[in-house]
Each structure stands twice: as C-alpha cells, then as structure tokens.
Amino acid sequence: MEERHVGASGLKVSTVGLGTMTWGRDTSPEVGRHLLRGFVDAGGTLVDTAPAYGQGIAEKIIGKSIHTDLRRDDLVIATKAGFGLHDGRRVVDTSRRTMLTDLAASLRRLHTDHVDLWQVHAWGDAPLEETLEALDQAVSKGMARYVGVSNFVGWQTAQAATWQRALPGRAALVSAQVEYSLLARRAEVEVVPAAQALGLGVLAWSAIGRGVLTGKYRTGVPRGSRGALDHFSWFVEPYLEPKPRAITDAVATAAQGLELSPAQVALLWTRDAPGVASALVGPRSVAHLDELMGVVGQRLPGEITAALDDISGGPNVARHLS
C-alpha cells in the first residue's frame, strides 16, 4: 500500500488507516486481531485507537497482537487522550495531569514504550497551553514520537498549531484528525485549509460516511448493523436523511459503472482528497476489510470525482489548486 507523509513531518503512514472504535464492544478481540493481521498483510500501517474505545480494550487487543503475531515496527500506532466515558457520560478532560495519565495507561495496554502519534481527542476546558505542554512533555520523554489534534474546528486547529510553532523546543503538531467523507465535507471549509497552511496532515475518520456509503441502508436498516444498535443508531441516523440518501445513490451508480463496490468508491474519494494523509475505516469483519483493501492501486477517474463533488456539496476548491 502507498504511504504518505503526515503533513510536513517525517512521519509516514499508509493511505488507508484501520480504526478501532468498535473494538471491545461490537468487535470481539478475536475478530480485532484477525482484522489487524489482515490489514498489515495488505500493506497497512496506521492503526488509530483511543482509551475510550471499548474502555481500553481496543488498545489491549493491539498490545496483545504485538506480542503474538506482529512486530511493533509493523504498526504506526496513533492513540489519543483527554476524552472518556465515566458512568455512561462523555467526559472531556484535557488537563496536563489527565492527559499524561491517559498516555501512561495507553502505553501499558499497548505493551510499548512509545506511540507514533499522540492526539488530543477533543477540545477541552483546560487552558490550551496546559494541554499542549502535555504534548511537549510526552515527546521530550520519548513517550510519543509525533503529536496532533482530533475533532478540533478550524480556529482551534490553527490556534493550537500556531502556539506550538511560536517558540523553539515545542513539539510541532503534525496532524488534524476530523470526520471527512462525501457525507461530511464541512472540514473543507476551515479545518483542511488550516491544516494545509500550517503543515498538518489530515486524518479523515469515518471515510465511508459512518458506514452509510456502503449502500447497505438504501432499503432500510439492516439487522445487526450499527444503525440497528441502541448505542450507535444516533451515530448513523443523521446520514439517512434525503440528501445523504441521494449522495449514497450517486455513489452506488458510480460504483456500478466502475465495477467497484460503493464502499470502495467512497473510500477512494476521501483517500485522494487534497490534504488527506490517510483515510480511516472501521470494518467489523475480515470480508469487509478485504473489500476496502481492494482500493490499493485504484484511482477514481477525474470526471467521476468531479460528479461526486458536485452532488455532495459542490467543487472542492483545494482540488483545483493542487
């Protein structure tokens, strides 16, 4: 699989990354290990995780795999800190103490002395300079090789990146992780331009529209799908409205003409959008992983890309400048 530099940094990642948000809850440890093995066999390197995923189980699955059938150097491990679930409530705490405590716990679960990319999971109430000092400390101590932010809007991304560039010795941000797909193009308005202006690579999560762009919801909500699960239906429902349905139909039409699956077309569109270093996907089965890995060596024709741009929100300005 092709690799790209993350922004202007020396960090290189596979152009498709493996997301682990469902691991430990909807994806069993056994399936997770099979997915990880298959991903690496297909040439993938970037694995994205977080302490909040399965309340740490996702990281444990990765850690066990490193000690059984994978080498640490096979993976570019990206994890996060500052967000978790406590008594069923989502809690954001980006204080220096919590950030570093989260990282230490992640390293124990991952059975490694460092992560390749450590990210602030969400914008928090702690002073930004305090949160960023935690990133500096992690890099200076060798606990993280590179650092970035996740789920920041445009001005937050720019403020954090500029703060880190203001004085020598601070750990420069290298990445901005944000939801980005044919069904979620808001990132093009501010986040992607901020990232490109400041030398950050974009990690696009939910690259196939929270699974909706596979086309499996076109005739209803399939049994066993994320949309049918009580704890995930809220995540899928916004993309089942008429406009997202029209975009999904267009993707399915393009896929039929290209002899690809809708998921592959959607992934190719995101993977090759300007500024994207890696498109993150979260397959729940080995068969789905194999389907997604089938995009290796594929490119969408320019006219198909342009047509999908038009129907999903209009031309991508950055595409015409690149």
Query: pLDDT, tens digit, for every residue of 29-45?
Result: 999 999 999 999 999 99
What are the chain's domains? 3-209+273-300 (3.20.20.100)
Here the tokens at position 233 are: 């239906």
Here the tokens at position 313 are: 């929100």
Residue 90's pLDDT is 85
| Cβ atoms of 209 and 297 closer than 8 Å | no
Here the tokens at position 53 are: 């995923």
Confidence of residue 65 (pLDDT cuts 50, 70, 90): very high
Task: Identify the burial level of 167 via C-beta atoms within 10 angstroms of its C-beta, where 0-12 means exposed, 13-18 middle and 19 or more buried.
Answer: exposed
Confidence of residue 224 (pLDDT cuts 50, 70, 90): confident
CB crowding 110-146: b at 16 or more within 10 Å, else e: bebebbbbbbbbbbbebeeeebbbbbbbbbeeebbbb
Mean pLDDT of 277-285: 97
| Cβ atoms of 208 and 267 closer than 8 Å | yes
Residue 322's pLDDT is 56
Mean pLDDT of 11-23: 97
Mean pLDDT of 51-80: 96
- Would you please indicate which residues are annotated as catalytic (active-site) residues? 53
Mean pLDDT of 216-238: 86
Residue 319's pLDDT is 83
Q: Render pLDDT for 113-168 as a digit per residue (tens, 0 to 9).
A: 999 999 999 999 999 999 999 999 999 999 999 999 999 999 999 999 999 999 99
Residue 227's pLDDT is 83
Task: Identify the burial level of 257 via C-beta atoms within 10 angstroms of its C-beta, where 0-12 means exposed, 13-18 middle and 19 or more buried.
Answer: exposed
Please tell me the pTM assigned to this model: 0.96
Distance CA 166, CA 270 (A): 32
Q: What is the CA radius of gyration of the chain?
A: 19
* DSSP letter string, 119-159: EE-S--SS-HHHHHHHHHHHHHTTSEEEEEEES--HHHHHH
Distance CA 46, CA 48 (A): 6
Q: Render pLDDT for 170-221 as a digit per residue (tens, 0 to 9).
A: 999 999 999 999 999 999 999 999 999 999 999 999 999 999 999 999 988 8
Q: Indicate the average pLDDT of the chain.
A: 95
